[in-house]
Every structure is written in structure tokens, then in C-alpha cells.
Structure 1
């Protein structure tokens, strides 16, 4: 099942996509109270045309987004040279606000104090049930599904201090989608190809088999301290090839188009604009 979010009368809903049609599954809030039951429930009524919907992130507005830094071996060397960060012994967790999440096609503005934004293709796991003290070996049983994520980063703010919060929470800087692919269709997140293209040029090309800390290990690590809730998102890190690691460094500026793609999930495409160009 492929799940998307969309608005009805200002309220976030969720639906199952099949081609160009969408089966409504109710409001996002109701769905995430019991995702398994919501998916199994019999549905009647009229199908919706995908092209007619105003899409929004397919997670609750109350979701927490847990991001993992330096979690690909191919990214570790460039992180050491740029920021002096060593290979982490444990998952390096930092947070994003749900308000930064946007969907495919949304314009993303560059903060005026930045040279540009940096790209980071990531596989993201969406949690499907309340989880405390998960075991690494069975942690994937708590995942609803997987999606693509672009952890667009304001590097100046990120690197100026040891804290990542501002650099990782610029307005509209968290494209997610194009859908959540549920675990009945995608049970194993290992061995997935992940790519970034800037104006059609491939700049990142990695595979989730290169993860330092597996999805299961990350879930177990988080949940011995924090209870995960349905709809929480874990962005699992990016492979090598980010712009700040290039020589010369390269960033996304107004007029660029960035695409991230995760195998078996799909492509997220977002145009970059200046703050002045941003349409409300």
C-alpha cells in the first residue's frame, strides 16, 4: 500500500494510492490512532482523483522527526574533513520540527544568510505503533512503512555551533514522500539505492547497505529513552556526495531543481527559490 496525505476543508487526511486514484482512509489523526486497523477496514464510497488533491505530509502535525547524522560510511570521511566529526559509536540523533515538512513540488527558499542549501537524500521510516524499549532484532515490526526524505541543510547555521537545530530546521526544508510504502510491500529497508540529482546531474548515489547503524538499531537506541508514537519519522542519514564536501563546495540556489530518489519508493522533486520569490 502507498499512502499519501491531502487536505479536505483544512484538515489533513490520508489515502491509499493506486495509479491515479486514491482510496480515502480517513483523517490523519484517526488513521494514526490505529494504523493497522485503519488499513484493514473495508472501504466504500467514491475514489478520488490524485491530480485533484492538495497533498500534504502523510503524518500527524504532532509527529516528531528523528534524524540520524553521519550514518553512511561513505559520508563519514567528508564529515570528518568538513566539520571534524568522527565516526559515531552510537546513532547521532537530532530533531526536526514537523512544520518544516513539505511534499513533492513544493518550492523551498534559501535563507538569506546562506550561500545556498545542501542536499541529503535519506530513507525514512514511519512508525506504526507506540514503541518503548524495542529490541534491535525485532524493531522493524514497529514500522508502518518507508518513504524518501531530503534533509535540506543550511550549512552555515549548522556548522557555526555544535548544535544542529537551526541549520536543520530552515523553513520548508524537509521534503518527504512521494508516498509511504507500507511494510507489506517493502518489508526490508536494506539494499535500497538512494540518489540525488541537481538539475538532472547525479550528485549522490548510495545504498542503504552502507548504513553504519541499521534501522532496527536506531529504533532500539531511541526507545530506551524516548517512547516512539505512531506517525513519528526516523530519517536514517545520507550517503557521501553532499555539496559541502565538494571541492569547490556547491550549494542549491534559486533556479535549481533538486530530486531525491529511493528505490521502490519514488522521486521527490523540489524547486529552489530565493526568499523574495517564495509564494505563500
Structure 2
């Protein structure tokens, strides 16, 4: 299933829906949880019940997709997003050349975080504050959403804890890294476009075979496949869960391939007026404009 969080009107409440063709079916009208976190926390039985209820959904539960506004699938995560740095071999090389990171491949996943306030949805604006950064960069990533609590899980069991997958653009202010720490560079407001949907894990049995790509103003900047991850999805879950309990609704952004602006010659940076589009095969397209958010003097 393709699950979305949407509003049917400007002032309407956020609702949980299922995309079927050109329609959105409202989950709450079927007697199921009416929020994404509510469905995730209700467990696999609730997901099965939602799937079983779709064929008999009443006409009143269906809305034309073009008439709703899609939000981030989880508009306000309860915890920081777990970001993974340097997780594609080619990106390790370009980062070493342009960002002074280590040239050797990491022996363990490089983990950072992005606060909940970074999250924006499809069509929402990425803020460009020129008083904060002159080096705003893009990174398209596969996002993993945890479905059941994972604590010290082995790799062989890790994917059983996945609820589904989405698209995330890890926006980064490259000139705001502080003494090797990335959270401020990657954690400013609007730096995590997320969506347009969550595809349930049963529809993506192998997350290591997905094409992903990104364009800026229609020009392709990144293209790769998740098989090129240095640490696979099951490895990431197993590693993080050795010391941090992963809970329902937690999000892991699994890293980006080569082609970021910092790695180009000459380097390229996002600016107001640009449009960033990230895509992951089988999930969908995430489109976000860049706007000026510099405070007036």
C-alpha cells in the first residue's frame, strides 16, 4: 500500500489515506487509525485490516488525489531522524576530495541526526538563509520507517522491524559543520523534505535493488541504486539498535550516492528559485522549491 498523510482543505485536519489510482481513501472512514503514527503503533494487524477493508471502501471515503494536499507522511516525528553519512562508496571519495572527510571507507555506519523540525512535505519550501549559509546542498536518500521496537536485533531479523519506505532529501549547509559535528549543518528548519508517501514493506521485499535519482531545475545531478550502499538496510538497523532502541515511527535516512553539489567541479549550491526533485523507484517523487528565508535587516 501507498500510505499518505493529507489535508482535504486548507484548514482541515491531517488525515491518514491510502492512494489507489487517482484517489485517496480515508483510513479513518474505514474504522482504522486516522494518523500514520497511530497506524504504525497499532501494529501489523491494523495494516492487514486496512488492506482488507479497501475493496469495500464506501464512495464517501474516496477523494480525488488532485483535490488534496499531501503532507510529510509523518509530519512531526517523535524523535530525531537517524541520518547515515558516507554510505555509498563513490560519495566517500567525493566527500574526501571536497569536504575534508576521511578517504578510507567507514568500518561502521556514520550516524548523525536531524531534528523533527527539519521535516517538510511535498511542495513545501526549503529555506535558504543567506546569513547562515552560502553552500546549501542536496542529497537524495531512501528513508526507512521502523514498524516494531528493535533492540539489539541481528541482521537476519532486522527487516522484519520495517514498516515501510519513503523518499527523503537530506539538505545540508556545508559551511555549517562545527568541529566535525554535522547536526547544525543538516538540522536546520526545512532541511528534511520527506514523502510523498510510505510504501509498506511487503511491496518492497528487497530494499537493496532500488534506483534513486535527483534533479535540480530539471537537470539530473544524482543517479544510483541502493545496491551500492556500503552498509545495507538490515546492517543499519542492527547497528543502531545495539545501543539505541528503535521504536515504531522512527526514521532512518540511509545515505546518498555521489553527485552532491559539494563534489562537483566547479561546486554547485542551491539558491532561491531552484526546484529540487528526488525520486526512489517504486515509491514516488518528492518536489520542493528553494525560497529565500534570509531575515530582513
Q: Which residue of 2 aligns with 1:147?
A: 166
Q: CA deviation at 1:35?
A: 3.7
Q: How far, CA to CA, are the matches of 1:69 and 1:200 in structure 2?
A: 26
1:103 aligned partner: 121
Partner of 2:23: 21
* Equivalent residue number for residue 31 of structure 1: 39
Count how many residue pairs are aligned between Structure 1 and Structure 2: 276
The answer to whether residue 65 in structure 2 is matched with residue 50 in structure 1 is yes
1:171 corresponds to 2:179: no
Give the match for residue 112 of structure 2.
94
For structure 1, which segment, 148-157 or 16-25, has the greater mean C-alpha deviation from structure 2 after superposition?
Answer: 16-25
Structure 1 or 2: larger helix share?
A: 2
TM-score (norm 2): 0.87
Contact kept, 8 Å, 1:148 with 1:268, in 2: the verdict is yes
Structure 1 segments of 4+ aligned residues over 6 angstroms from their partners: none
1:1-280 mapped onto 2 (5 Å cutoff): 1-7=1-7, 11-25=13-27, 26-41=34-49, 42=53, 44-45=57-58, 46-59=61-74, 61-86=77-102, 87-112=105-130, 113-158=132-177, 160-275=178-293
**RMSD over aligned Cα atoms:** 1.8
Q: Residues of 2 paired with 1:61 and 1:261: CA distance?
A: 21
Q: C-alpha deviations, 1:20-63, integer Å up to 9, x for none?
A: 21122212342122242222223644213323333222225314
Pick closer, same or farther for the CA change 1:38–1:11 going to 2, 3 Å.
farther
The 3-state SS of whatever aligns with 1:23 is strand
Q: Measure, in 2, the Cα distance between the counterparts of 1:177 and 1:73.
A: 25
Conservation of the 8 A alpha-carbon contact between 1:123 and 1:149: yes
Distance 1:57 1:35, change over 3 A: farther
Q: What is the rounded CA distance, in whole Å, between the counterparts of 1:63 and 1:15 in structure 2?
A: 23
* Contact persistence 1:65–1:96 (CA under 8 A): yes
- In our comparison, the structure showing a higher alpha carbon Rg is 2
